[in-house]
Amino acid sequence: MKVLVVGGGGREHALCWKLSQSPRVQRLYCAPGNGGISEVAELVPIGAEDLEGILKFVKEEAIDLTVVGPEAPLVRGLTDLLEGEGFRVFGPNKAASEIEGSKAFAKEFMRRHGIPTAPFVIFEDPEEAKSWIERSDKPLVVKASGLAAGKGTIVCDSAEEAIQAVDYIMVQRAFGEAGSKIVVEERLEGQELSYIAFCDGEDILPMSTSQDHKRLLDGDKGPNTGGMGAYSPVPFVSAELEKRIIREIMLPAVRGLKQEGRPYKGVLYAGLMIDRDGNPWVLEFNCRFGDPETQPLLVRMQGDILEVMLACIEGRLAELQIGWDPSPAVCVVMASRGYPGPYEKGKEIRGLETLEGMPDVWVFHAGTVKRDNRYLTSGGRVLGVTAKGRDLREAIRKAYEAVSRIHWEGAHYRKDIGHKGLNEAWPS
């Protein structure tokens, strides 16, 4: 089969790496890809949001399967465009992708289907939002309703911060049109959890659990980012809690979307908060694999991911099972100086060759280009250094040992990825 992966981040590198292991994949392409992806796939110089360019390439090369990594092309309707021309696509259509494309839609959808989520109000007028916030007596979270590359959520400690967040999103238009509508919701406390499942429109096949680290700095300080690291599995998720997540959140979401005429085929990502009483609440839904959660998940996933993707498209997930390596995995994101704000590019990355031969260590490239056999930085998140160990502590040690060998001017990373998972009962 000829397979095209759309996107150019760390998630797409991990997907290309995993797909390249399938005996059925004869040629693997990635558009636009990055420096590291060029080692496992042929790069195609087409942007992930150039829908017509992607369609033209798929037609010319007679691509058998297109796997869409990022949310933006899904929300804009890439799946509909390709399927309309008779091509197979892994990724939900435009109507189903609205579960991520509009946080306002997602919250109202959850209310309609009884899916647990924080109380919320939706605003299109910044003055109305600020007036409502002044009357509120609870900690709040302010979210841009549209797509903001994982950075459109502002967790506020006071009404004053929430009002500033409204100005930042709606008046200053920090996220452009994505901030023309906002969701203001009650702030939930507890532990965040990423729960990702394959879906075929009716059934789901869950992946293992994982936990992202959204904030820029150690101890969950600083601004939100697209994700500074992740680990899998999450030890404080019991079998009973996982059953509740499937029963109360994942299946109602997939069946609710089908009921509303938006059959969901692809991966559905639920960003959850597990409160102190062990109850799961949905913070957000995403219409694609998480980044960086995909990196530790895929190094643990056993079997052929291509077969799972085809089963999603063909509506036969119920026939399949996924095996998981019990060894935990950790991904530490190395970022450019300035991220998640303006960042520098073009810095030479040194030390990658010293990782060759390190067992159970992988470096997934996110923001790199390869020139004259050298890797240069080209994005905010640059590398996802991933390691597997006999236990979580060893996986963390190996990941940071690998990180310590990689250098470029201004490199930044958190030093506490995975530490929450070391306390199996309930991390503080």
The 3-state secondary structure of 221-264, one letter per residue: EEEECCCCEEEECCCCCCHHHHHHHHHHHHHHHHHHHHHCCCCC
Residue 424: what pLDDT? 57
Q: Is residue 361's pLDDT more than 60?
A: yes
Averaged pLDDT, 211-222 = 94
Q: Which residues pair with 386 in a beta bridge?
A: 331, 362
Task: For residues 147-160, give the mean pLDDT.
Answer: 88
Chain centre to alpha carbon of residue 163: 28
Among 101, 321, 93, 305, residue whose Cα is nearest residue 203: 321
pLDDT tens digit sequence for 39-63: 999 999 999 999 999 999 999 999 9
Of 148, 255, 127, nearest to 199 by C-alpha is 255
pTM equals 0.95
Please state, in angstroms and as integers, the Cα–Cα distance from residue 108 to each residue in 15, 117, 284, following that order.
32, 10, 12
Q: What are the residues whose beta carbons fall under 8 Å from the beta carbon of 213, sequence distance 6 or more?
A: 220, 227, 228, 229, 230, 414, 416, 417
Q: Which amino acid is at 164?
A: Q
Answer whether residue 423 shows pLDDT above 90.
no
237 φ, ψ to 5°? -95, 110
Angle of helix 159-166 relative to helix 126-135, nearest 10 degrees? 170
- Does the pLDDT at position 427 exceed 70? no
Q: Is the pLDDT of residue 214 over 80?
A: yes
Cα(318)–Cα(326) distance, integer angstroms:
23
- Residue 426's pLDDT is 53
Average pLDDT over residues 314-336: 97
Reduced to 3 states, what is the DSSP secondary structure of residue 198?
strand
Q: What is the pLDDT of residue 305?
A: 98
Q: How far apart are CA 102 and CA 183, in angstroms?
A: 10
Of the pLDDT bands very low, low, confident and very high (cuts 50, 70, 90), residue 150 is: confident
How do residues 383-402 score in pLDDT, each as one tens digit?
Answer: 999 999 999 999 999 999 99
Q: How confident is the model at residue 370 (pLDDT cuts 50, 70, 90)?
A: very high
Give me the mean pLDDT over the 300-304 stretch: 98
Residue 149 has pLDDT above 70, yes or no: yes
What does the pLDDT read at residue 31?
A: 98
For residues 354-378, average pLDDT? 96
Residue 425 has pLDDT above 80, yes or no: no
Distance of CA 184 to the CA centre of its chain: 22
Determine the average pLDDT of the residues in 224-245. 95
Dihedral, CA of residue 104, residue 109, residue 112 and residue 118, to nearest 10: -60
User: Which whole number is the average pLDDT over 108-118?
Assistant: 98
Mean of all residue pLDDT scores within the chain: 96
Report the pLDDT averaged over residues 111-116. 98
Query: For position 428, what pLDDT does the model report?
Result: 43
